[in-house]
Chains A and B, each alone.
Chain A
């Protein structure tokens, strides 16, 4: 069955970098657009980024443009989110999600990123 497992979260100082991974199983990553969505503690959901199925198109929320990069390694069937110049307001649980015919049908369990000195 479809499974998404995020990893790479942790505590990081402001201005530093972190790379999140989302390992996919039960399907081929290259066949689907993939998204990152985050949720700050006690807050609502915030869509962050998307990579198209063919990797040719990427879109980001304004607050992370120029700092975050979404990519994937098809040989590893893994999605990534490279996060640079991290700020305290990037603190959140980060979810990867697969877009299907019915929008975001499959989600990972999330990984917590805490940006703090």
Chain B
């Protein structure tokens, strides 16, 4: 199975900050990577697919990059609505696996 590791586990930031979250795969997944945002008590929401493609309706301050085994999610200017947990997920082969999540909270 492909193991996904996210860092950091928790990130404290302020409104307006540039935020970067890293996701590493235990083997190459090409660009078969998605990023989700999840708020407490809610279902995950797709932000990025194929490592760098922005899902329709997602603000352009979110961006994704990377390929192979190392990926990043960047929020260019953190907004109040962005305080949430972010998950990466590979979909190269079954079983799909998720990272452990990164919680972005208020500094």
Contacts and interface: CB of A to CB of B under 8 A. Distances in A.
Is chain B found bound to chain A in the same assembly?
Answer: yes
Interface of A: 35, 37, 44-47, 50, 59-62, 95, 102-105, 107-110
Contacts, number: 56
- Minimum-distance CB pairs A-B, first 10: A107-B43, A59-B94, A102-B49, A47-B96, A45-B98, A44-B101, A103-B34, A44-B100, A103-B49, A61-B95
Interface of B: 1, 34, 36, 38, 42-46, 49-50, 53, 55, 87, 89, 91, 94-101
A104 B46 CA distance: 7
Contact of B95 (A44, A62, A103, A108): A62
B55 A105 contact: yes
Contact of B99 (A44, A61, A95, A102): A44
Contacts of A46: 97-98
The DSSP consensus for interface residues of chain A is strand
